Amino acid sequence: MYAEKLEMLIDGEWVQASNGKTGSLVNPADEMEIGRVPHATTDDLDRALAGAGRAFRSWKTMTAAYRWDILSKAADLIEARKGDIARTLTLENGKSLTEAAGEVQFCADATRWYAEEAKRAYGRIIPARVAGVRQLVMKEPVGPALGFAAWNFPAGNVTLKIAGALAAGCSIIVKPSDETPGTAVAIGRCFQDAGVPAGALNIVFGPSAAISEHLIASPIPRKVSLTGSTPVGKLLQRLASESLKRCTMELGGHAPVLVFSDANLDKALDVLIAAKFRNAGQVCTSPTRFYVQKDVYERFIAGFVERSRKVVVGNGVDMGTVMGPLITGRRLDLMDEYVKDAVAKGASISLGGERLDRKGFFYAPTVLRDVTDDALVMTEEPFGPLAQIAPFDTFDEVVERANSLAFGLAAYAFTSSMSTAANVGEALDAGVVGINHTSVHEAETPFGGVNESGYGAESGAEGLEAYLRTKMVSEKRV
Ligand code: NAD
* 254-267 pLDDT tens trace: 999 999 999 999 99
Listing from the earlier edge strand, what are the strands of the sheet with 133-141? 124-126, 133-141, 468-476
For position 1, what pLDDT does the model report? Answer: 87
209 lines ligand 1 (CB under 6 A): yes
175 lines ligand 1 (CB under 6 A): yes
For position 306, what pLDDT does the model report? Answer: 98
Which pLDDT band, with edges at 50, 70 and 90, does 216 fall under?
very high
235 lines ligand 1 (CB under 6 A): yes
| Protein residue with its CA nearest to atom 39 in ligand 1 | 250
Asked if the model's pLDDT at residue 351 lies above 90, the reply is: yes
Q: What is the 3-state secondary structure (H, E, C) of the chain?
A: CCCCCCCEEECCEEECCCCCCEEEEECCCCCCEEEEEECCCHHHHHHHHHHHHHHHHHHCCCCHHHHHHHHHHHHHHHHHCHHHHHHHHHHHHCCCHHHHHHHHHHHHHHHHHHHHHHHHCCCEEECCCCCCEEEEEEEEECCCEEEECCCCCCCHHHHHHHHHHHHHCCCEEEECCCCCHHHHHHHHHHHHHCCCCCCCEEECCCCHHHHHHHHHHCCCCCEEEEECCHHHHHHHHHHHHCCCCEEEEECCCCEEEEECCCCCHHHHHHHHHHHHHHHHHCCCCCEEEEEEEHHHHHHHHHHHHHHHHCCCECCCCCCCCCECCCCCHHHHHHHHHHHHHHHHCCCEEEECCCECCCCCCCECCEEEECCCCCCHHHHCCCCCCEEEEEEECCHHHHHHHHCCCCCCCEEEEECCCHHHHHHHHHHCCCCEEEECCCCCCCCCCCECCCHHHEECCECHHHHHHCCEEEEEEEEECC
Residue in 4, 92, 179, 250 annotated catalytic: 250
Which pLDDT band, with edges at 50, 70 and 90, does 105 fall under?
very high
Q: What angle do CA 422, 428, 431 make, to 5 degrees?
A: 105
For position 275, what pLDDT does the model report? Answer: 98
| Protein residue with its CA nearest to atom 19 in ligand 1 | 209
Class of domain 255-435 (CATH, top level): alpha beta
Asked if the model's pLDDT at residue 16 lies above 90, the reply is: yes
For 275-323, write each residue's pLDDT tens digit.
999 999 999 999 999 999 999 999 999 999 999 999 999 999 999 999 9
Domain ranges of the chain: 8-251+451-475, 255-435
For 77-93, write each residue's pLDDT tens digit.
999 999 999 999 999 99
CB under 8 Å to 189, separation ≥6 — which residues? Answer: 77
Per-chain mean pLDDT for the chain: 98
Q: Is residue 250 annotated as a catalytic residue, yes or no?
A: yes
Q: Is residue 190 annotated as a catalytic residue, yes or no?
A: no
- Which superfamily does CATH assign the domain made up of 8-251+451-475 to? Aldehyde Dehydrogenase; Chain A, domain 1 (3.40.605.10)
Report which ligand 1 atom has the smallest distance to the Cα of 453: 41
Residue in 179, 284, 458, 465 annotated catalytic: 284
- Interval 142-162 mean pLDDT: 98
Query: Is 162 exposed, middle or buried, given 0-12, 13-18 or 19+ CB atoms closer than 10 A?
Result: buried
- Interval 412-435 mean pLDDT: 98
For position 202, what pLDDT does the model report? Answer: 99
